[in-house]
Structure 1
Amino acid sequence: MGLGQATFERSGAALRVENVRLIDGVSDDVVDDAVLESDADGWITYAGPAAQAPEAHPDVRVIDGRGGTLLPGLFDCHTHLGLPSDRSLVETALLTDPVLATLRTAERLSRTLASGITSVRDLGGLPAAFRDAVATGLVAGPRVQTSVGVISHTGGHADDTLPGGRSLGLDYCELADDVPGVRKAARRMLRSGADVIKICTSGGISSAHDDPDDQDLLDEEITAVVDEARRHGGRPVAAHAQGRAGILAAIRGGVRSVEHGFGIDDEGCDLIGEKGAFLVPTLSAVFQPLDPRTTTPWRYQKKLRWNELAKENLAEAIARKVRIAAGTDAGITPHGQNLFELSCLVELGMSPMEAIRAATSAGARLLGVEDTLGTLRTGYAADLVLCASDPLRDIGVLSAPENIALVAQQGVIHRLALPPAEPRAAGRNGPHAGARP
């Protein structure tokens, strides 16, 4: 089940949001005094200037946006919602009761949604049942596409064997060491309900046995996984690829997206353009400080080496207009602060509008749902985020969840935290000082 098939088993209501500036997620244009309306099924029927808006129907729920900025529901294209960001993987795997782990994952889904992320692509550690629970309204959370697990080789980035030889027993990590092995691993992921297949084509900063410069899966193994995914519903493949060798191997092999891409160079940028792939740079992880007192020496040394290199290379990729979709690596980085990624993109050279598009229409294209999500236009799903101030003036306002005043998915409101209304005279759309059922 992909994002486009997600439905909510909750009754909707026609919705009208007034007194907002509107960013549609596609164009450079901003409508300074805008209205958005959706019908009872959660589809946008109007989004544009207030002067041209239809009169509000008596049964519509009207929300006064208090002069805030209305955006499409935002995408995080690289999360690990099944993993905590506030405790070690060892503690999580060995010491956490499974029931408690499930409840914590549900809480992370809810917190991520409240931060303005209405759609995610989870790339390891999130069972497909959470996707289905969100889709049926059992759990509040972003719409989900999940890889369920990660495919790597023995000693590679997803090998959960500890330095002493003991395995953490992470059931979402699949190790395969030849072409038949990776085909079987991909089939197991698909059997488990994967929407996207996640592979490792390079080592990683956070893995003990390898380095980002190492190539993980072989070229022929990458091609085999891409073929398996293609033959089963045309599913995409995402590649953990930090170093140059892994990046180039992944793109040559036909993956849909390069995750991290810290060592990307001109050849990698050119290949992404030729193949029509995406780069998901997970800059939140690059900008996240690492305390040497609370991490292993080998991880700290790798991060020291790669952080500045990643910033330099990814800034060049941004300058070259490589297709970028926003993703945070949440689980490694904090959950519920996902939109800090946009500030990082701006720091490395994107305009605020470009960063917003990376988290809206570009994310929708990467996930294959651009016909229904990622923009505020007539006929699209009413996935909405209202920011209390203007992110084009200061993109950092999106990073603080308290600035997110409204979150809705297909017209269903999940968060409504508007500031008190300022008294104002009745305008052409009526005296709506706040939300009205």
Structure 2
Amino acid sequence: MRGARRVLLLEHGKLVGGLGTKSIDDGGVLVNDAGRIEWVGPMDGLPPDAVKAGQRFDIAGNWILPGFIDCHVHLGNADANRDPLRRATLPASLLTLSVVNSMRNTLFAGVTTVRDLGGVDLGVKMAVEQGIIEGPRMQIAITPISATGGHGDSCYPSGLNLGSRPGVVSGIADGEVECRKRAREVLRAGADVIKVFSTGGVWSPRDQPDDEGLTIPETAAVVDEARRHRNKRVAAHAQGRGGISNAVLAGVSSVEHGYQVDESTVDEMIRRGTYLVPTLTTATTEPDKGAVPAVSYEKKMKWMAIARECLPTALKSGVKVALGTDCGVVEHGRNLTELYRMVEFGLSPMDALLAGTRNAAELLDLGDDIGSLAVGKFGDIVVASCDPIADINRLSDEGNIVMVIKGGVVMKNIIMNRPR
């Protein structure tokens, strides 16, 4: 694993601090031995004692950015283990260990923080925090809450239940009382955020993306329970129009996917401050027709078209947008493809960068610690060899992410120069 933290200085880079302000051509960042930013700004303002930094990197010709935040991943869905029937036959230890590569690929792509919305447990998060394995800092949802027969119900007509494994918290709930109890159970298991299924989905066997899931009162009970536990956030998987509206009216913090969101619901989201996490990476990725069930392929193609029709208007409306990819459904490590897709759907490059930094941090209630390069925040920093404003698509190539620093620790360094 990585060594102990030392004072670290990045100097002579082009600084894009994540605040929407003008970039600095000759900038730098100083991180102290506690992993927090001590100074950031133009090099002519560098404090005199910074020359004593334990690690100094001259990164002239490269861009300095805040570490990116992906608000919607499934690290437990490794590429080879996405098929639910295959997953049901594998040892739990193998599924857990497969997370290691997913986290490494995510971190090396420039994502220093993720919100895992179902699939990993508290032990995985603790292993990262204790330095046992390398990965981004994490918020976890443990198990999403679903109505019987909804998107989270993996029980087939034969009675085979692919969602039931020893030690896995059940998310099936019907009625306000059960929903409140399930919320308490996932919080007891270590959830930082609660996820609910407000609609059906593409990959679930017995529903459609425009089927409505939990009702407004059921979802409101979960939102209230989250509020009672340090005002934690609730994320709603919501693809069809009716379920999106229900989730927003019930008071969720974010709409995940939102493929069929309409103008009136967008207006309500703006009024309430509800975030949209559009997961455009998965919304624009066509599955391998021969590798998925025919019914899922048909649903996917239909809802890709709906997303392309509805989401551009929503993104340009002024609603708060945060980056989320649904990686785990698509390949881990492709996270920053989302930035390009956001621009394709109507955001400016700077607004896309803000969606992946400042906005995402605020959604996760971590704005005081991450999301921009500012004094006192964690030294979560990405160095890119490409101009993120002029050609944002190049950030999706992991090879153009030449350094990744998390909490002041250099996790990745493929830049040519070495510390002085």
Specify if TM > 0.5.
Answer: yes
State the Cα distance separating 1:92 from its structure 2 match. 4.1
Q: Secondary structure at the match of 2:52?
A: coil
Aligned to 2:123: 129
Give the 3-state SS of the residue equivalent to 1:101 in structure 2.
helix
SS of equivalent to 2:79: coil
Q: 2:89 aligns to what?
A: 95
Match of 1:155 among 135, 146, 149: 149
- Match 1:220 to one of 204, 217, 231: 217
- Give the equivalent residue in structure 2 for 1:46: 39
Q: Would you say the 8 A contact 2:147–2:153 is kept in 1?
A: yes
Q: How much has 1:85 moved relative to structure 2? A: 2.9
AA of the residue aligned to 2:341: C
**Match of residue 366 from structure 2:** 369
Q: Which moved more, 1:47-56 or 1:210-219?
A: 47-56
Offset, 1:20: 0.8
Equivalent residues in 2 for 1:29-428 (5 A)? 29-55=22-48, 56-170=50-164, 171-418=168-415, 420-421=416-417
Counterpart-to-counterpart distance in 2, 1:96 and 1:125: 15
Structure 2 residue aligned with 1:429: none
Return the letter of the residue paired with 2:352: A
The Cα offsets for residues 316-355 of structure 1, whole Å up to 9 and x where unpaired, read as 0111121000000011011011111111101111111111
Specify the SS of the correspondent of 1:57: helix
The 8 Å contact of residues 169 and 185 in structure 2, kept in 1 or not, is answered as: no
Deviation (angstroms), 1:28: 3.1
Q: 2:419 matched to which residue of 1?
A: 435
Task: List runs of 5+ in structure 1 lacking aligned partners.
Answer: 1-7, 422-433
Q: Is the 8 A contact 1:160 1:173 kept in 2?
A: no
- TM-aligned CA distance change 1:243 to 1:232, over 3 Å: same
The answer for unaligned runs of 5 or more in structure 2 is: none
Measure, in 1, the Cα distance between the counterparts of 2:344 and 2:65.
21
Does structure 2 retain, via aligned residues, the 8 Å contact 1:158–1:173?
no
Tell me the distance in 2 between the aligned counterparts of 1:79 and 1:50: 37
Higher mean Cα deviation, 23-32 or 143-152?
A: 23-32
Distance 1:209 1:161 in 2: 9
Q: CA offsets, 1:51-109, max 9 Å, x none?
A: 22224323431012131111101000001001123443324422322222211112211
TM-score after normalising by structure 2: 0.96
Aligned residues: percent identity? 39
Separation of aligned partners in 2, 1:31 and 1:258: 34
CA contact 2:282–2:329 (8 Å) conserved in 1:
yes
Secondary structure of 2:138 counterpart: strand
Using the alignment, how far apart are the partners of 1:10 and 1:190 within structure 2? 33
Of 153-162 and 129-138, deviating more is 129-138
Cα distance, 1:162 vs structure 2: 2.9
